[in-house]
Amino acid sequence: MSNLAQLTISKNIATVTLNRPEKRNSITPEMMTELDSIFGSLETNDDVRFVIFTGVGDKAFSTGADLASFASHDRDSVRRNWIPSGHRIYKRLAQLPQITIALINGDALGGGLELALACDFKIAVDTARLGLPEVGIGTLPGWGGTGRLVDVVGVSRAKYLVLSGQIIDAQTAVEWGLLHHIYPIAEVEAGLTTLLAQLEKVSPVAQQIGKQLMSAFENKTNAEILEAIGGALTVTTEDLAEGIKSFSEKRPPKFKGK
C-alpha cells in the first residue's frame, strides 16, 4: 500500500484522506484500489458510525481522475474497466452503512466531485470550487456524476455543469443544494463538529435504515450504463487527444469536433 488514501479511526469516527497533494489529490487506479480496500474494511466495522472524507493540503479536495492514467486506456478498456471500476467503488462508498461526510478542503472537480456526490453530506471551505469540467478536454463525467448530480441539483443545473464544463464557487454550490454548509477555512473544523453533534443525537439504527430507504430512489443504474458507453466513445475522438495534449502543454485546446 502506498498510502494514497489514508484511513484513521478515532472512537466512532473514521477519516479517509486523499494523499496526493503534489497532484492536487488527483485519483489514480492505485488510489482507487486503496479506497476500495478501505471501504471493504468499513462495511463490517460496527464501531464506526461516521466516515469523513477530505484531502491533504489547502488547495484541493481532489481534481478528479489523473489524466495520464486515463489517457493510457483505449475505447474498450474505458468501457469495460476504467468507468465500471469507478462506478463499483463509488457505489460501495454510497452504500456504506455509516453516515458519510465530504469535508471539501479545496477544489472538488471531476472525479473528486463525483466522490463527494457519493457522500451523504457535503461541507466545504468557502474558497472551494466545484464542477465537472471533463468536456473541456473532450470527454464526459464517468463515475456516476451525471446521475447523482441530477439527483442533487436537478436536470437543468446538471446540464449546465456537465455540458458547459463551468466551475462554480462554494456560495453558488450552497444555493443550488450541492453543498450543505460552507465555512471560512478557520471555522470548517468547528462546522464539522457541529454537524456531527447534530447527527449523533438520533438513533443510529433509524439513521442507517433511513439511509438505505432513500438510496432506493437514487437515479443511478441507467447513468452507469450510459456513462460507460459515452466515455468509451470520447476515447476514439481527435478532440480528446487534443484536450489531453493541450492540458499537458498548458494551452487552450483547439477542438475540431472530430
Active centre residues (catalytic) = 114, 134
Helix, strand or coil, per DSSP, at residue 123: strand
Q: Please say whether the dihedral angle defined by the alpha carbons of residues 31, 37, 43 and 44, taken in this order, is positive or negative.
A: negative
* Cβ–Cβ under 8 Å, residues 93 and 115: yes
Per DSSP bridges, beta strands 13-18 and 5-10 are antiparallel
| Placement of cell 452507469 in the chain | 224
Cell 464517468 maps to which residue? 142
C-alpha count within 13 angstroms, C-beta hemisphere, residue 219: 14
Strand stretches in the chain, DSSP E: 5-10, 13-18, 50-55, 60-62, 99-104, 107-109, 121-125, 129-131, 167-169, 181-183
